Structure 1
Amino acid sequence: MNLQQAMDHTERWYESRGWTVFDFQREAWKAWHENQSGLIHSPTGSGKTLAAWLGPVQDAMSRSTAEATGGDPALRVLWITPLRALASDTRNNLEAVSDALGAGLSVEIRTGDTSSSRRTRQRQQPPFALVTTPESLSVMLSYPGSEIGLANIHTVVVDEWHELLGSKRGVQLQLCLARLRKLCKNLRIWGVSATLANLDQARDVLLGPGKEGTLIRGVVPRSVEVCSILPTDPASFKWSGHLGLQLIKPVIQAIDNAGTTLLFTNTRSQAELWFQALLNARPDWLESVALHHGSLDRKLRVRIEDQLRSGELSCVVCTSSLDLGVDFSPVDQVMQVGSPKGIARLLQRAGRSGHRPGAVSRILCVPSNALELVEITAVRNALAEKRIEARQTPQLSLDVLCQHLVTIAMGSGFIEQDMLNEIRDTYSFAELTDAQWQWVMDFITRGGQALKGYPQYHKVLQVAGVHRVMNEQIQQRHRMAIGTINSDAQLSVVFQGGKRLGTAEESFIARLKPGDTFQFAGRHLEFIRIREMTAYVRKATKRSRVVPRWGGTQLPLTSALADSVLQTLHLWQQGELSSPELLSIDATLKLQQQWSYLPGPNDFLIEYIRTQEGYSLFCFPFAGSLAHEGLAMVVASRLSALTPSTFTLQVNDYGFELQSPEPVEFDLDQLRQAFSVDHLLADILNSINTSEIAKRRFRDIARISGLVFDGYPGRAKTAKQLQASSGLIFDVLENHDPDNLLLDQARREVLDQQLEFERLKTTMQNLQGRQWRLERPERLTPLSFPLWADSLNSQTITSQSFQQRIQAMLDALESASDDTLQTT
């Protein structure tokens, strides 16, 4: 059949399924046939995959197999997925569509789980399409001859581009795509995405600077209904999230009333706790409720996904591991435990329900404390105004560049000037200077100024004008270390009999003693011993409330949502906004007004309160926990310079607390001076131990750039060993090569990522234009109580006394609130 017949055949297939071909899908197919590249942006479940996939399928159907592959079988389509766990489902979906249309195109998977024999067969008999990850694509490029196997690719599809855009994994992929653009003639690159605000920039990052591309907007976003489970007794609903299972009964009722529910939590630890809480309340759900997060064994996750797909489960408690990619048509309810912390995150999760064109997405939010009811209203308002967060891509991540250059030198090798032009053909390195390039080249060829005397850092050699890696040991080590995903060292958690449950971070396991119990994978486990990076466990005979803590799960309130929270409070204060959530906590907001002040977008509230622990200055910029961390350090340092004092710091998304054992009096002029933007960067560097923080950040940079090696499988180095090795190198570089660009990158990342310096600076500038309110309440207020509770938790007291202190303070405040409300 010719191309038009193939397209008509596609339309008839849609009709036979009772589906409608959307205009954006036809637009995407037409653009593909016209050799265009671009970005397809459409809500979850609206048909983005078919929009990206059916152009190549129609082209293949319009030719004979021989014509379609140039006479020999060849890899034509590379499908990049951000999660290895999604590869199998993606492959099945792509091949099912091909088979249904009669195209009969082979689709295979290439990830870290793919056996060496299958990888060999894929090189000898390549499929039409290959589903892979950014890391596996880099590994493919590290083999000699890879340019031959990849040269016939005509399409790269990057699925869930919004998940890669803002991370070093996205930078890694940019570099790989620049290489493919050089290897493949007439290469089309298409991104598939949802929940993005900065669409033009997202497209330009994907395609490279100066590249023409189209932006295809999908169907009008489905209606999103944001509802809440409200406390039956709002007056006694907690002001802080420490007792976050208060609404377990209505949650169970909501699950009972639905077909299948996805219960999203923000962290894996929270997922473990909610799963156990559901089973404790409903033991009869043992076979119908499951747990799903990224640290569980892959086989367990796949089994749960299959059960979810077949409708066997009534509820899955999950994290972002089920945010993406897979269509679970049986799911008719999505719940969100706690604040989503971001507008885009809630929109993404809401899309898991009604996951089909024309359906309404509905999400039921479960607040863990009173103030989260405000955030739920704020999210709903932001969605109504179509405001979601933009995602920015990292710039000049030289550790990723160093890794990529060694990868290419192991494969086809490179000529220096040609490679420089190729690197500058990416968005993240378009501004790379000649001096920075020369430093990188010096680093990969001789280890830089300080490490030139160590042969193991002389990785790349110039042979007949081509830069190559000739040492087999260097090749072996580098190939195992390819990637940019960083976390604490992972230990396998395994039953003594051999069944693997998943992974937990070494920092958690290392604190356990034989006989200690903890919750993991939905079970109560007893720790036995560690051997060869494996934690052996048995079923515990007693229950435990201890849950592993995983790094990388801190979710600060986004700027867009923080602004919406302040606007929501202001509108409520003016009597211009009402919602079920605000009505539910009307009394709490009135207490904040009466005991202190309720800030809006033009206000900056500061509370000075005496507590049993001392004297606390509570400041509420509403800038998110990361920015507040740096802000608290600077303000504490500046105030200490005015009056000698010692502060204990605590932060959350709304503000921060400076607690001192002795009274410290400041007027508004002094406080304004402490919040001045003048000399901000210098004061941050002076007020915190940036060298020590940068040293910890340098561990990841050192691993990515190849300065340290994780170790071989089964003999991986511990996090402590890696930190010691990278720390030693950090000290050597700082003393003997202070201008080392990787040191500079570590400092930049501390400021940009850990302290959100630009957001911090903008916040301080904005505060100067607000109305400042210094209040001196007689007691903790609804805004200050969560900070006080968190600071109490961080002190050295037992868990029991902590809970007792929290409850005692809540009882006292509730009694005071009753008295206040009765007199008004």
Structure 2
Amino acid sequence: MTNREQLYEIADNWFAAQDWKPFPFQKQTWKAFLQGKHGLLNAPTGSGKTYALWFPIVLNYIKNNPEYRTKHKKGLKAIWITPLRALSQEIKQSAERVTADLGTQMTVGIRSGDTSTKERAQQKKQMPDLLITTPESLQLLLATKGYDKIFKDCAAIVVDEWHELLGTKRGVQMELGLSRLRALSKKIRIWGISATIGNLEEAREVLLGPTSQALENSVMIKANLKKKITVKSIIPKEMETFPWRGHLGLRLLEDVVPVINNSKTTLLFTNTRSQCEIWFQKLLEKHPEYAGEIAMHHGSINKETRVWVENAIRDGSLKAVVCTSSLDLGVDFAPVETVVQIGGPKGVARFLQRAGRSGHRPGKESLIYFLPTHAIELIEASALQRAVQQRAVEDRMPYLNSFDVLLQYLTTLAISNGFYPHEIFHEIKQTFCYQAVTEEQWQWLLNFLVMGSQSLQSYDEYKKVEIEEDGLFKVNNRGIAMRHRFQIGTIVGDANLTVRYQKGGYIGSIEEYFVSKLTRGDVFTFAGRNLEFIRIKEMQVHVKNSSKKTSKVPAWAGGRMTLSAQMSKLLREELYTANQDRKHQSKEIRSLDHIFKRQRRESIVPNPDEFLIETFKTRDGYHHIFYPFEGRFVHEAMGSLLGYRISLLSPITFSLAFNDYGFEMLSDKEIDMQQVLDNNLFTTDYMLDDLQKSLNSTEMARRKFRDIAVISGMVFTGYPNKGIKMKHLQSNSQLLFDVFRDYEADNLLFQQAFTETFEHQLEEGRLRLALERIATQTIVWKACDQVTPFSFPLITDRLSREKLSSEKLADRIKRMTAILMKK
């Protein structure tokens, strides 16, 4: 037996050989791990967190196998979970360095969607000692017969980037996987690694289970590495007084060029994949000298290209990469000097994460430039500066009672070894997500697996699981098992179609909803190329290269982002400084001085105790604009709620538009605003009832239900390359939805669709808080003569969404601006 001091010495010597010195947090983690504790390590990327946990895992093996240099005991010893496949290679390299340098014979393997069939078959025969995998692949292992033998000697599981999984269904999937592994291997240690979030304590509780013994025997280790983050805003030399959305971004392209030229490598983060495509194209168009020196990276580009880009960043051969959040996480790129954020990142945590990509070494300063896509976004930039100083970061709210994920998990267990309900019920009750599941609900879920639901009993396809004589729940039908394995996972997007050249080269994947709008011969830009659409064949989009210029860029559903609660609060505080003395203002707020002056001429810039409503008339009709500054999802709900309440006073129809700052109701007759104020329409009384009536919440729940039906396995999405078209999926899940609504309203999956709609999509909690805040403010209603600078982004946003007449949007907006400036 090697004692602990000797083990630390092995580690210290290794660090000394690299000319490094271990950080206190790394030593604390080694110590806690070797004492048999579980824990959550809170450390920023690029701080050496990987070595904080690989080391004790290997040292623990050395301790238990004194003859480790000559005799090797095969079998799985530790699992490292990463939410992003892109990170696997790097984690593997770190692990291999440690195992090889310390003279062990441990093997390291990766298992993810990118792993070849051949390698999987080898792993089936002999698991690597250390396995790096994703939440989905872990579930696939649990779907393998005899999985209990694979995991029985596993001594550790590390969940990396836990803050990314928390508050998602993948996180719930992880909670279930951990509950099973705890039962299989008595000596397993569970560790999570998380960047800073507001609710770290709760994050640890979700990871380890609120009532588990693991939580009692656990630690929270914080790497207090003071990292200096500098935010610089790129402030345009001349700014329009009437800023509009999505336009100023590219106008500042030339301001980015010196930033790129003065840095070794620059990452340019965009919020959406389509914006990423446009920026990449325009940079090359204006600066052909960058050809071969700049690249693009987002989640829909094929794997080879992504890996090539990641390696090129590492060896410093690229000047710049235009990317999306696909490069947000943990990838350790030492040479990146500078990060540019294009447009508001909508959340503090995301911004800090991206800033940390530059100066990616402990103790190095991180430099991030903020480039606004319209002038008012400079308020966001200023708010981010403050957030960086205060280290104000969002909470991630965990899910409760996700029955769809639970049904998928139970089916997974039933297709491998089968399960006994009383054992599994005891295990899932220890997870955070299912701590409150009742006996009655559990019985409902078991019945659902065996018989389908009440109203589907006569259909055999919903009867998946059989109960054997000793009470074991088991799937014996190979077809059911095969279909289930194809569908394990909780990420349900629009159906993805692969994009290929007619001659067969694979380019990437785009969503069906974009392709459905294309006709033969249309040209769109994707993965940095102009492609002509030929046809769709078997879930594949066939294309050829085109020399035509185009403005069509695929949009992905993931592109809709909203301000977090934390960010909205900071934004409001920042905006209120516009009315203070100049010496209390940031340079961003000062640079917007002419906009605020114009805004005051037409209306007001609100103070903290004021809530602003503006009304005016244009050739489009009567505009009624409200400014809660709460983010677009809250505005979507608040706009519908208010609209419904106004229509009760007098019948009226209007169209709604919303952005992160406010929402607009446009109608062909005027709303009596005094009546709105007198009737206190912003009250939280009857809020849920009114919301359900106003929002066609049934329609929204219907969309949510599609995902729930897929995750729970009621609807099959098709075999690889033979996927089922989205519209069939839609109609299948809609039929089920209608059946449950009419005949079985107490169906747990049907009810879950509504709960999720209100809690996660409409953020009902935030809406309530926003309305409570407005109740304490003085409502200032300004009847304006014309469009104001604050309302301009909202109106132009609506114009860009409506099909405009043949005059181009930009021309129309130029004319509007010219008229406004003359007045």
TM-score by length of 1: 0.97
User: Who is 1:427 aligned against?
Assistant: 432
SS at match of 2:590: helix
User: Who is 1:373 aligned against?
Assistant: 378
SS at match of 2:370: strand
Find the aligned partners of 2:656 and 2:146 in 1 and give their Cα distance: 56
Deviating above 4 A after TM superposition, structure 1's stretches of 4 or more consecutive aligned residues are: 65-71
- Out of 465, 473, 498, the position equivalent to 2:504 is 498
* Aligned-residue offset at 1:15: 2.2
Residues 578-589 of structure 1 aligned to structure 2 (within 5 Å): 578-589=585-596
Check whether the contact 1:111–1:132 (CA below 8 A) recurs between aligned residues.
yes
What amino acid does structure 1 have at the position aligned with 2:489? G
Check whether the contact 1:290–1:313 (CA below 8 A) recurs between aligned residues.
yes
* Aligned-residue offset at 1:239: 4.1
What amino acid does structure 2 have at the position aligned with 1:509? V
User: Who is 2:697 aligned against?
Assistant: 690
What amino acid does structure 2 have at the position aligned with 1:790? D
What amino acid does structure 2 have at the position aligned with 1:621? P
User: Who is 1:173 aligned against?
Assistant: 174
Check whether the contact 1:74–1:127 (CA below 8 A) recurs between aligned residues.
yes
User: Who is 2:228 aligned against?
Assistant: 223
User: Which deviates the most, 434-443 or 367-376?
Assistant: 434-443
Check whether the contact 2:241–2:594 (CA below 8 A) recurs between aligned residues.
no
* Aligned-residue offset at 1:466: 1.0
Find the aligned partners of 2:369 and 2:733 in 1 and give their Cα distance: 45
Stretches of structure 2 that go unaligned for 5 or more consecutive residues are none
Find the aligned partners of 2:69 and 2:618 in 1 and give their Cα distance: 76
Find the aligned partners of 1:69 and 1:761 in 2 and give their Cα distance: 65
User: Who is 2:481 aligned against?
Assistant: 475
* Aligned-residue offset at 1:164: 0.3
* Aligned-residue offset at 1:799: 6.7
* Aligned-residue offset at 1:53: 1.4
User: Who is 1:137 aligned against?
Assistant: 138
1:557 aligns with 2:563: yes
* Aligned-residue offset at 1:3: 4.0
Check whether the contact 2:241–2:598 (CA below 8 A) recurs between aligned residues.
no
User: Who is 2:358 aligned against?
Assistant: 353
* Aligned-residue offset at 1:2: 4.8
- Out of 536, 544, 549, the position equivalent to 1:538 is 544
- Out of 683, 699, 720, the position equivalent to 1:676 is 683
Find the aligned partners of 2:607 and 2:174 in 1 and give their Cα distance: 42
User: Who is 1:819 aligned against?
Assistant: none
Find the aligned partners of 2:816 and 2:289 in 1 and give their Cα distance: 37
User: Who is 1:123 aligned against?
Assistant: 124
- Out of 256, 262, 281, the position equivalent to 2:261 is 256
RMSD, aligned CA: 1.7
Check whether the contact 1:375–1:565 (CA below 8 A) recurs between aligned residues.
yes
Find the aligned partners of 2:310 and 2:631 in 1 and give their Cα distance: 34
What amino acid does structure 1 have at the position aligned with 2:482? Q
* Aligned-residue offset at 1:62: 3.6
User: Who is 1:408 aligned against?
Assistant: 413
Check whether the contact 1:239–1:782 (CA below 8 A) recurs between aligned residues.
no
- Out of 567, 572, 575, the position equivalent to 2:573 is 567
User: Deviations for 1:460-501, whole angstroms, at most 9, x for unmatched residues?
Assistant: 111121111111111000010000001011111111121111
* Aligned-residue offset at 1:593: 2.5
What amino acid does structure 1 have at the position aligned with 2:641? V
User: Deviations for 1:66-96, whole angstroms, at most 9, x for unmatched residues?
Assistant: 6799974110110000012222222122212
Check whether the contact 2:244–2:796 (CA below 8 A) recurs between aligned residues.
no
Check whether the contact 1:82–1:163 (CA below 8 A) recurs between aligned residues.
yes
Go from structure 1 to structure 2 and tell me whether the alpha carbon gap of 1:686 and 1:13 turns closer, same or farther (over 3 Å shift).
same
SS at match of 2:534: strand
What amino acid does structure 2 have at the position aligned with 1:374? I
Residues 235-314 of structure 1 aligned to structure 2 (within 5 Å): 235=240, 238-314=243-319
User: Who is 2:626 aligned against?
Assistant: 619
Check whether the contact 2:243–2:376 (CA below 8 A) recurs between aligned residues.
no
1:192 aligns with 2:196: no
User: Who is 2:799 aligned against?
Assistant: 792
Find the aligned partners of 1:105 and 1:721 in 2 and give their Cα distance: 48
What amino acid does structure 2 have at the position aligned with 1:28? T
User: Which deviates the most, 345-354 or 383-392?
Assistant: 383-392
* Aligned-residue offset at 1:672: 5.4
Find the aligned partners of 1:553 and 1:108 in 2 and give their Cα distance: 34
User: Who is 2:13 aligned against?
Assistant: 12
Check whether the contact 2:243–2:789 (CA below 8 A) recurs between aligned residues.
no
Find the aligned partners of 2:652 and 2:492 in 1 and give their Cα distance: 38
What amino acid does structure 1 have at the position aligned with 2:628? P
Check whether the contact 1:81–1:133 (CA below 8 A) recurs between aligned residues.
yes
Find the aligned partners of 1:291 and 1:386 in 2 and give their Cα distance: 30
- Out of 513, 516, 522, the position equivalent to 1:516 is 522
User: Deviations for 1:708-737, whole angstroms, at most 9, x for unmatched residues?
Assistant: 000112210011110011111111121221
Aligned length: 816
What amino acid does structure 1 have at the position aligned with 2:155? H
Go from structure 1 to structure 2 and tell me whether the alpha carbon gap of 1:126 and 1:71 turns closer, same or farther (over 3 Å shift).
same
1:781 aligns with 2:782: no
* Aligned-residue offset at 1:452: 1.2
Find the aligned partners of 1:274 and 1:242 in 2 and give their Cα distance: 12
User: Who is 1:761 aligned against?
Assistant: 768
User: Deviations for 1:181-213, whole angstroms, at most 9, x for unmatched residues?
Assistant: 000112111001113121100011001112222
User: Who is 1:664 aligned against?
Assistant: 671
Find the aligned partners of 1:559 and 1:602 in 2 and give their Cα distance: 18
1:641 aligns with 2:648: yes
- Out of 307, 315, 318, the position equivalent to 2:320 is 315
* Aligned-residue offset at 1:753: 2.0
User: Which deviates the most, 655-664 or 346-355?
Assistant: 655-664
Find the aligned partners of 1:432 and 1:569 in 2 and give their Cα distance: 45
Check whether the contact 1:49–1:192 (CA below 8 A) recurs between aligned residues.
no
What amino acid does structure 2 have at the position aligned with 1:50? Y
1:394 aligns with 2:399: yes
Q: Percent identity?
A: 43
Go from structure 1 to structure 2 and tell me whether the alpha carbon gap of 1:722 and 1:387 turns closer, same or farther (over 3 Å shift).
same
Go from structure 1 to structure 2 and tell me whether the alpha carbon gap of 1:411 and 1:188 turns closer, same or farther (over 3 Å shift).
same
Find the aligned partners of 2:643 and 2:275 in 1 and give their Cα distance: 32
User: Which deviates the most, 109-118 or 719-728?
Assistant: 109-118
What amino acid does structure 2 have at the position aligned with 1:398? F
Go from structure 1 to structure 2 and tell me whether the alpha carbon gap of 1:806 and 1:733 turns closer, same or farther (over 3 Å shift).
same
* Aligned-residue offset at 1:800: 4.0
User: Who is 1:529 aligned against?
Assistant: 535
Go from structure 1 to structure 2 and tell me whether the alpha carbon gap of 1:465 and 1:781 turns closer, same or farther (over 3 Å shift).
same
User: Deviations for 1:713-765, whole angstroms, at most 9, x for unmatched residues?
Assistant: 22100111100111111111212212111111111111122211111111111
User: Who is 1:703 aligned against?
Assistant: 710
